[in-house]
Structure 1
Amino acid sequence: MVNGQIENDALPHAHEGSDTSTHVPATVSEGGPVMDASSPTPHSVHIPANTIVLTFDDGPDPRWTPAVLEVLRRHHVPGTFFVVGSEAARYPWLLQDIRAAGSEVGLHTFTHPDLSTSSRMRVDRELTETQLVVNGATGESSYLIRPPFSSTAGAVDDLDLASFQLTESMGYMTVLSDVDSRDWQRPGVDAIVRNSTPPPGVGGVVLMHDAGGDRSQTVAALDRLIPTLQQQGFRFTTPTAALGLPPNNRPAPVADRVLGRTVLAAVGAAGAVVQVLTWALLVVGVLILLRLALMLVIAVRHKRLRHRRGFSWGPPVAEPASVIVPAYNESANIASTVRSLVASTHPVEVIVVDDGSTDGTADIVEALGLPGVRVLRQVNGGKASALNHGIAHARHELVVMIDGDTIFAPDTIARLVEPFADPTVGAVAGNAKVANRRGLIGRWQHIEYVMGFNVDRRVFDLGHCMPTIPGAVGAFRREILVAVGGVSEDTLAEDTDVTMAICRRGWWVVYQEHARAWTEAPASLGQLWRQRYRWSYGTMQSMWKHRHAVVERGAAGRFGRRGLAHLAIFQVLLPLLSPLIDVFLIYGLVFLDPWTTLALWGAVLAVQFVAAVIAFRLEREPMGVLWALPLQQIVYRQVMYAVLIRSTISALAGIRLGWQKLRRLGGLDTLLARNAAGTEPAEQAPPAPGSVVEDPEPLTEGAVLQRR
């Protein structure tokens, strides 16, 4: 707020002038530029004959104020500088230079408002804050003011006069002008000299400016004006000396000086903070945009490589797979999940590990009576424990691990195990999709899955540094799971932890976009918070656990310096700084030009929209949902920031979290059918296993369900 007020460039327009003047006495309107509004009959005073008072408004300015002072020093004349408090607070040393040169400092308000239309409280604040800046910078006070947008005595109207009387009651004296150089128009040096020259033998207060734009003409005109008028017999002085008034700049009370220095220190600190944040925002913005562009380029390359004519992982994989379903209170969806697995075109055994459910999850599965389905019961021990229990009882070397709220298409497992034809592939990440995407929160997560998670997996695949296989759909070689000690219980992100362990062993973890699975995403902000808090915290735990990979050699080092470094920079560090974007958006709307601010924000949003279009085309997803993207930036992104901040604090504090089971709404097959019947998410299904990938034929999610 301090720096916002300092930087405020929004100057109100002056009110209409003399048309409303009905009570301004002739003693004011026909008088001089120095007002005495405290007496019963207000009047104004002329500057004595052959006397010139040079005044400068709107400064100080680090370029032009020193240039003006240099001309004044060279000709041994004083000036009176009516300073804007916000500028003086930024350049307090210039006030010291003004006083050291023998010139005076007056007040021109803090933010340059029209005092005649301002409330008493606003007027008092404007002058008090400017006075404090002068106190802190020079150790002196000033009682001379020049109201912004003021002119000559003849232009004073009722509102002006009332404001003069108000400031007089506060202990200030108003100084207007009667000779306007019009230097703000930059009419040329000759014109400025001509405009600044009073009639022969007449005194006057000359209005010039030492800030507010290019003042080179003012400086050049001043250098000619002073010697010319001196040769004509004019003397140069200050308003107070010309009228025999007490000195304008007098020592301020100690308390005011201390308070003034405190204000200057606060302003300096605020300016420094804003400068640092501005550079940080610039760096963050550039890195985010560069990353976005680079990720999309690599993701497109991944798509082309996987879809090029003749691409094949190797001979078809016919080996059966063991599908492990850890389930804790999954009664809402477990029947749909198991049915979708049994309907697989690939031979499977299904192992449902009931982790101490209290809602009859295991009973539901047993009641289905489906062939090839086993139920294992255990005391509640967490997801990792349930997965390890299932791995220990798996009969096949290919192990698929999924969540208990996930629906597979009939060919998902066949697609998922295809890459195992390559002996260097140790695990496969499938394509997790949001099933309940018709609500706003569901749409936001759907956009995030397509733009974020799946684009990232394409990039990590090509970089051989995949950090996470989604818990909803992933496949592993059993021997590798045994080699890494199974699914670790050290972290909350067991899927990330085990994936990192596999990468460090030198195995290639790939992304299979055609192995689609639909999962029920959190349906409320509260559930979303709990889920993402666990994910974020667990990812940090996994990064810390595998941190030594950064300095290791071979495949482990490649994963550490690519995967872990990417996570640290782009999923922890930069997101922690990303709220600066929103802070500066609000700052710009309040203190800067709101239209320019909105235009810049719109440009960033446009870049994200283009990126979203590319990502959705890669996934062959309908783009109608992208209308929710702007709202995602306003609400959803802030929730993710808060989650990351809290997760970081929890990680630093070493807080332990539980599994944090989400409440399921159920009816996944109903959700998919509803989506397929509406405008979304009708998708393109992959070609049959083992065929050449060229142009997949369309297949809606509803059709997937019908084929079961």
Structure 2
Amino acid sequence: MTPRTTGAARRRRVPLRYLLPLLFLVALMAMLMLRGYTHSEILADHRVRPPAPTDQVPHRVLGGGPVIDARGGQISTREVPRKKLVLTFDDGPDPTWTPRVLDVLKEHDAHAVFFVTGTMASRHPDLVRRMVDEGHEVGLHTFNHPDLSYQSRSRIDWELSQNQLALAGSAGIRTTLFRPPYSSFADAFDNKNWPVTEYIGSRGYITVVNNTDSEDWKRPGADAIIKRATPKGGKGAIVLMHDSGGDRSQTVAALDRFIPQLQDKGYEFTHLTGALGVTSAHSPVTGLDLWKGKAFVYAVQASEHVTGVLVVGLAVIGALVIGRFGLMLLLSVMHARRTRRSGFSWGPPVTEPVSVLVPAFNEAKCIENTVRSLIGSDHPIEVIVIDDGSTDGTARLVESLRLPGVRVIRQHNAGKPAALNRGVANARYDLIVMMDGDTVFEPSTVRELVQPFGDPRVGAVAGNAKVGNKDSLIGAWQHIEYVMGFNLDRRMYDVLRCMPTIPGAVGAFRRSALERVGGMSDDTLAEDTDITMALHRDGWRVVYAENARAWTEAPETVQQLWSQRYRWSYGTMQAIWKHKRAFIESGPSGRFGRVGLPLVSAFMVLAPLLAPLIDVFLLYGLVFGPTQKTIIAWLGVLAIQAVCAAYAFRLDREKMTHLISLPLQQILYRQLMYVVLLQSWITALTGGRLRWQKLRRTGVVGSAPGIPAQPYSGERRPVG
């Protein structure tokens, strides 16, 4: 292999961070499919054929005994001898009723035959083992309980082999006894089901029907069950009962009286081969077949446990989603009424000058728009652009603009936290606004952003970050997310006094608050979340200023969006872990640990991690049913989201037209976010390291909507 070929093969290899989430989702679906298969939701056929003519059925079968042996092409039937009763139980084992039936049989020293389905045997292997250990016989009742007269020979073989596989894995045996689903007496064979019996005989099985039906499935009462199960004139019989398929309390009660009553009359309750005096129907399974059976049963058990956890997870995510939407709506209404009422103020008007920090790394395409939007501010400011080792001439471009009040500080590339700390060190004023180099402000943004500092308890303020490039489909989806998810969240967290994040695109800080917590840290990839949590723990209030709008350039490609959200998700997990001691801190600073961290962990980490379950069960329900209920449930969740989104858009005075793409966002965009978060979890759990991921900017956001982008005219000058 040439070096070039080797390099190409290496490039084509799927990265582990993509492969692991894919394998996880595939395994999840496989477990769910296996669970559906063993619960007769997949490949199940519930049709029951009506009676057909009987002219093709041998007379010796129609008038013969309930045991039909068609092995080797020779057809014979047998009756159970006098004074012998063979109790048979269909459709189990059931975890509730089978143990009670076994207890009664053991108490009265009676034996029986259990015709088990593979679905139940694989789910409850311990009960099959108990049947064998206590001397009972086990027969096949197919795997999924279909009417075999509707099935092809290959499906019949599949039903038998899967049923035997479940027996091998459960008790290490193979059986020759078989009872068809929906069977009754020998004279009920007809032209449709008799060929099936002949074929099954050719496969080495003895077919067992019955000649005494207790009709316990009708639940007529214990007395009626005993009467119908009792043979007449001392005849032997195969008695049909059930240990599964519903409430079998009457069956258990009837057995406890029926067995001793007939034992007193000289009847013997034995299994079939004992009654007929023939070789046992069981044979041991060894070698590869045994291990295949055990592997199958273990897989079924795993699927039961996994899907049980998934169902609990679905309930949790349902509660979280409804709870979050309810909290957002209720608390957002409270926030809007409080901040919009006549006469509301944070305190005395804040008019002091502000330092605006713009960290920039290779922002040449958009830095001019950013700086010019700041020059149009109606609040006195100084602008400090911290060039973090750009290689595209960002610093030279800003200097060439020669805008008053704008300074450029250059440093070797050290990362965004270091650039911001450098800016704080060079800032002239005590109120500091931080923004991204791809963001533009409205003229009133800085003024609105710093007004909450009229309250001396406020240490930081989150602004209203909005998507500037929302005309594309991906941009529209992010626009919905920003307005609904981020800003409704911030209103909720503001009321609860546990704001988790000051957005990097638009946030303001007191210098004293920053200095007390040690400034911006590079311990995490979410330095904005990290500093916000640190301020809470230091006792500062963090609030939301809805009118401080900033327009940012959202990622325009799936790859860029993936990179951004991967960093956000992983950085949030890092910040939660870094500040985990807040859970146990007391005093005013402990409020964030008692309220904020649990909410952030539940809504921003746990809920998105469990949210794929909604779509997994949606897909499963659409394919395997119940389809109508599944669609109604999904539309219900979508309706709740639509109500929240519409309210959020109304609060932010946004056009409702973008909500047209909300259903598509839920189907496509949300799935991408799931995989991103799952990848972040895997990175965190495996101890992986994630580097800062710089997004490629286009400069498409030239100015705030409704405000023309114009060169600075010199009509007003920022301070400094």
Q: TM-score, normalised by structure 1?
A: 0.83
Match of 1:420 among 448, 453, 456: 453
Counterpart CA distance in 1 for 2:262 and 2:57 is 33
For 1:509, the equivalent position in structure 2 comes to 542
Structure 1 residues 479 and 232: CA distance shift in structure 2, 3 A:
closer
Q: Residues 399-457 of structure 1, C-alpha deviation per residue, up to 9 Å, x if partnerless?
A: 22211221222211221121122222222110001122233322332232233322332
Question: Any idea what SS the aligned residue of 1:467 has?
Answer: coil
Structure 2 gap segments, 5+ residues each: 1-30, 713-720
Counterpart CA distance in 2 for 1:381 and 1:286 is 43
Counterpart CA distance in 1 for 2:119 and 2:388 is 65
Counterpart CA distance in 1 for 2:339 and 2:167 is 70
Residues 110-509 of structure 1 correspond to what in structure 2 (within 5 A)?
110-188=143-221, 192=225, 196=229, 204-220=237-253, 237-253=270-286, 260-261=293-294, 263-366=296-399, 368=401, 370-509=403-542
Structure 1 residues 24 and 399: CA distance shift in structure 2, 3 A:
same
Which letter does structure 1 place at the counterpart of 2:68? M
Q: In 1, are the aligned partners of 2:530 and 2:575 still within 8 Å (CA)? A: yes
Counterpart CA distance in 2 for 1:71 and 1:114 is 31
Counterpart CA distance in 2 for 1:384 and 1:319 is 25
Structure 1 gap segments, 5+ residues each: 673-700
Q: Residues 535-584 of structure 1, C-alpha deviation per residue, up to 9 Å, x if partnerless?
A: 22333333444444455554543344443444344433454444444445
Structure 1 residues 457 and 101: CA distance shift in structure 2, 3 A:
same
Q: Residue 35 in 1 paired to residue 68 in 2? A: yes
Which letter does structure 1 place at the counterpart of 2:348? P
Q: In 2, are the aligned partners of 1:503 and 1:555 still within 8 Å (CA)? A: no
Structure 1 residues 245 and 601: CA distance shift in structure 2, 3 A:
farther
Q: Residue 8 in 1 paired to residue 40 in 2? A: yes
Counterpart CA distance in 2 for 1:121 and 1:501 is 66
Per-residue deviation at 1:106?
A: 1.1
Counterpart CA distance in 1 for 2:265 and 2:101 is 22
For 1:679, the equivalent position in structure 2 comes to none
Per-residue deviation at 1:212?
A: 0.4
Q: Could you say what the CA RMSD is over the residues aligned between the two structures, in angstroms?
A: 3.8
Match of 1:702 among 701, 706, 710: 706
Question: Any idea what SS the aligned residue of 1:357 has?
Answer: coil
Q: In 2, are the aligned partners of 1:192 and 1:221 still within 8 Å (CA)? A: yes
Q: Residues 640-675 of structure 1, C-alpha deviation per residue, up to 9 Å, x if partnerless?
A: 3332333344345555444322122332248x7xxx
Counterpart CA distance in 1 for 2:447 and 2:380 is 9
Per-residue deviation at 1:145?
A: 0.7
Per-residue deviation at 1:523?
A: 1.8
Which letter does structure 2 place at the counterpart of 1:416? L
Structure 1 residues 275 and 28: CA distance shift in structure 2, 3 A:
same
Counterpart CA distance in 2 for 1:515 and 1:405 is 16
Q: In 2, are the aligned partners of 1:95 and 1:138 still within 8 Å (CA)? A: yes
Which letter does structure 2 place at the counterpart of 1:558? R
Which letter does structure 2 place at the counterpart of 1:402? M
Q: TM-score, normalised by structure 2?
A: 0.82
Q: In 1, are the aligned partners of 2:459 and 2:513 still within 8 Å (CA)? A: yes
Q: In 2, are the aligned partners of 1:383 and 1:659 still within 8 Å (CA)? A: no
Structure 1 residues 306 and 46: CA distance shift in structure 2, 3 A:
same
Q: Residue 104 in 1 paired to residue 108 in 2? A: no
Question: Any idea what SS the aligned residue of 1:523 has?
Answer: coil
Counterpart CA distance in 2 for 1:152 and 1:631 is 57
Which letter does structure 2 place at the counterpart of 1:352? V
For 1:534, the equivalent position in structure 2 comes to 567
Per-residue deviation at 1:143?
A: 0.8
Counterpart CA distance in 2 for 1:706 and 1:157 is 90
Query: Percent identity between the aligned chains?
Result: 56
Per-residue deviation at 1:65?
A: 2.8
Counterpart CA distance in 1 for 2:187 and 2:708 is 85
Per-residue deviation at 1:142?
A: 1.8
Q: In 2, are the aligned partners of 1:7 and 1:591 still within 8 Å (CA)? A: no
For 1:635, the equivalent position in structure 2 comes to 668
Per-residue deviation at 1:42?
A: 4.4
Structure 1 residues 526 and 200: CA distance shift in structure 2, 3 A:
same
Counterpart CA distance in 2 for 1:74 and 1:485 is 76
Counterpart CA distance in 2 for 1:560 and 1:47 is 74
Structure 1 residues 232 and 399: CA distance shift in structure 2, 3 A:
closer
Counterpart CA distance in 1 for 2:256 and 2:682 is 62
Counterpart CA distance in 1 for 2:217 and 2:658 is 53
Per-residue deviation at 1:630?
A: 4.0
Counterpart CA distance in 2 for 1:216 and 1:554 is 58
Question: Any idea what SS the aligned residue of 2:374 has?
Answer: helix
Q: Residues 61-95 of structure 1, C-alpha deviation per residue, up to 9 Å, x if partnerless?
A: 23333444455567665432211122223333433
Aligned residue pairs total 679
Q: In 2, are the aligned partners of 1:337 and 1:408 still within 8 Å (CA)? A: yes
Structure 1 residues 168 and 464: CA distance shift in structure 2, 3 A:
same
For 2:557, the equivalent position in structure 1 comes to 524
Per-residue deviation at 1:632?
A: 3.5
Question: Any idea what SS the aligned residue of 1:668 has?
Answer: coil
Structure 1 residues 393 and 259: CA distance shift in structure 2, 3 A:
closer
Which letter does structure 1 place at the counterpart of 2:470? R
Residues 67-86 of structure 1 correspond to what in structure 2 (within 5 A)?
67-69=100-102, 72=105, 78-86=111-119
Structure 1 residues 370 and 249: CA distance shift in structure 2, 3 A:
same
